[in-house]
Structure 1
Amino acid sequence: MPSGVQSISLMGDTLYTPEVSPELFDDQNEKFLEALADYRVDPEDAENIIWLGRRAAYLGEYREAIQIFTEGTYKVPEDPRMFRHRGHRYITLRYFDRAVRDFERAEELMRNMPDVIEPDGLPNELNQPVSTLKSNVWYHKGLAHYLNGDYQQAINTYEKSLNELDLTDDMQVATLYWYYSALKRGGQDEQAGHAIENVTADMDLIENDVYLNLIMVFKGLFDPERMMEVSDDSLQNATLWYGIGNWHYMNGREERAIDIWNQILSTDEWAAFGYIAAEAEMARDSSTSSE
């Protein structure tokens, strides 16, 4: 692809390297250069490869990140993290099938390994990681299936995570959000209701409050229209708006859902999961309408 182009959207639009805000760029670029220096000292080291790829992605260089993780799959082919992180960035660039294959490979490699906390590259306010290698593999694998419209596969993946892992409250809420959505979209309404019945508004979360608030909308406890108010966090807006649009869609208000999803697509947050999900919905709607 030409310089500055990362991928093509599901709607056929060119996705250019996103601009990083000036206040974040200096910090992230410095960390990228540190990771690059470490890599040059020892380019065979798995940690050096992982962090170089992650730092490239935080600067919006997703294609470069994929190339780095691909290099890692050859240098340390038994390390599931290479496939976990490459799969994540395949989702970013809309290669959902490739992402699923990477997560399946990561599953195979980590099957007999103990789970480990995954350090954050963009730490939360408490600098406290809320996820693990296995929870991230299954979370993102389920998401890739969901974005593909393979709701039963998404359900199966999320159930594995919920049943087999000791998830933090943050990770449990995020997983339940997508699990509920997959169940509803798959026509399993009763099971969807049961899935979130123990989620309460007073849960003390570190970073996934948006998903918690959306679950409260699903339960009829929060007003979705009040939550549509624009915040300063455009990434959060994409997540929130997709969820509210999805709530309308799941309750038969397709026109309102499409209006909200189009609102997301008018922003520049094309790497956000909420944006990608809205784009996938609109691409399916366009495909169905043209048949």
Structure 2
Amino acid sequence: MAEASAADVAVRPQAVSLLGQPLYSAPPSAEALEQLAEAQADYERDPDDADNIIWYGRRIAYTGDYHRAIEVFGEGIVKHPHDARMYRHRGHRYISIRKFDHAIKDFERAVELIDGQPNEIEPDGLPNAMNMPISTLHGNIWYHLGLAYYLQHDWENALRAYDTAYAVGDNDDNKVSTTHWRYMILRRMGRDAEARQVLTPITADMTVIENDSYHQLCLFYKGELSYADIMGENADTPGGSAVGYGIANWLYYSGETSRAIAMLEQLAANDGWSAFGVIAAEADLAAL
């Protein structure tokens, strides 16, 4: 079944970009298929177990089959309607396929479900270099809700969500990632003094395990890194897309509209189309 899913992913578009282009997933790696087979076996042994459902859906998504992953999380919602994790993960994959209204609905429901509940560490599906999970369920819900609103250019709601995501997190990775988005939103809103203020807690000596790109961008916004310092050669990774999108925005704020648009167009043509920087570039170009 995993092999059939992989073959299907390769021949049908998973989404249509905001610029009207069909988007195809790359063939999944052998490791991704092996992990999917393990998660599928667990799911088939006990398809009602919430953790089994979540990991089955996550592993399907990591093969690029976002529609099937959304179906699995939907089945999970039917079985566990009060489990915020189901809405959190389905909402993420709605973002991947550019269905932002659906994503917002899921994340807002997740926000309702976590109200008054203790936070919890969210296990990584794609571990960082230190194999140390850095994110939480509450933080990820608010973070992705902010992103979904950002992609619709709903700055007020995006800022509300990212301010909450910043407050929820208690590590430097969270601080740099949410600060990056808060800064960009405030600049888009013309609130430049507030944008500079949110950068104050960001320093070069922070302990950042995973979100190096966001850390570098924040230091760039502060004037502590140069353009050359952060524009690396590998722009085709999610981190590279994040840097490219941050720089494109900075050029836009600085009045260099032609350069900003050229960079957004380059990002939108990136094969790694599920990266948030790529989706955001599409959203900006579609709004021109």
Instruction: Report TM bin, short chain.
Output: over 0.9
Task: Tell me the alpha carbon deviations over residues 59-94 of structure 1, each in whole angstroms, 9 at most, x when there is no partner.
Answer: 111111111101111011010000000000111111
Q: Is the 8 A contact 1:131 1:167 kept in 2?
A: no
Q: Which among 190, 195, 205 is matched to residue 202 of structure 1?
A: 205
Taking the aligned partners of 1:224 and 1:97, their CA distance within structure 2 comes to: 35
Matched, 1:6 2:10: no
Whichever residue aligns with residue 234 of structure 2, its letter is: S
* RMSD (Å) for aligned C-alpha atoms: 1.5
The CA deviation at 1:162 is 2.4
Query: Shift of residue 263 of structure 1?
Result: 1.4
What residue is the counterpart of 2:89 in the other structure?
85
Query: Which amino acid in 1 is paired with 2:115?
Result: R
Q: Which residue of 1 aligns with 2:182?
A: 179
CA contact (8 A) 1:170 1:206 kept: yes
Quickly say closer, same or farther: Cα 1:160–1:229, change in 2 above 3 A.
Answer: closer
Q: Distance in 2 between matches of 1:142 and 1:132?
A: 15
Question: Contact 2:236–2:272 (CA<8 Å) still a contact in 1?
Answer: no
Q: CA deviation at 1:30?
A: 0.7
Q: Measure how far apart 1:255 and its partner are.
A: 0.9
CA distance in 2, matches of 1:104, 1:87: 10
Aligned partner of 1:266 among 266, 269, 272: 269
- In the TM superposition, what whole-angstrom CA distance separates every residue of 1:137-176 from its partner, at most 9, and x where no partner exists? 000000111111001111111122223x242110111011
Partner of 1:146: 150
Residue 87 and residue 122 in structure 1: after superposition, are their counterparts in 2 closer, same or farther (change >3 A)?
same
Q: Distance in 2 between matches of 1:14 and 1:158?
A: 30
Matched, 1:63 2:83: no
Measured in 2, the distance between the counterparts of 1:283 and 1:124 equals: 33
Indicate conservation of the 8 Å contact 2:36/2:56, yes or no: yes
1:220-235 matched pairs, under 5 angstroms: 220-231=223-234, 234-235=237-238
Distance 2:175 2:229 in 1: 25
Q: What per-residue deviation string (whole Å, max 9, x for no partner) do you get for residues 230-282 of structure 1?
A: 12762222111111111111111111111111111232010100100111111
| SS of structure 1 residue aligned to 2:14 | strand
Q: Does 1:95 align with 2:99?
A: yes
Q: Which residue of 1 aligns with 2:3?
A: none
Q: Is the 8 A contact 1:135 1:167 kept in 2?
A: no
List gaps (5 residues or longer) in structure 2.
Answer: 1-7
2:191 pairs with 168, 188, 191, which one?
Answer: 188
Match of 1:16 among 19, 24, 44: 24
Normalised to the residue count of structure 2, the TM-score between the two structures is 0.94
CA distance in 2 between partners of 1:201 and 1:153 (Å): 29
| AA of the residue aligned to 1:114 | P
Q: Which amino acid in the other structure matches residue 26 of structure 2?
A: P
AA aligned opposite 1:195: V
User: Partner of 2:4 in structure 1?
Assistant: none
Alignment of 1:272-283 (within 5 A): 272-283=275-286
Deviation at 1:28, TM superposition (A): 1.3
Q: Measure, in 1, the Cα distance between the counterparts of 2:236 and 2:287.
A: 27
Match of 1:136 among 136, 140, 158: 140
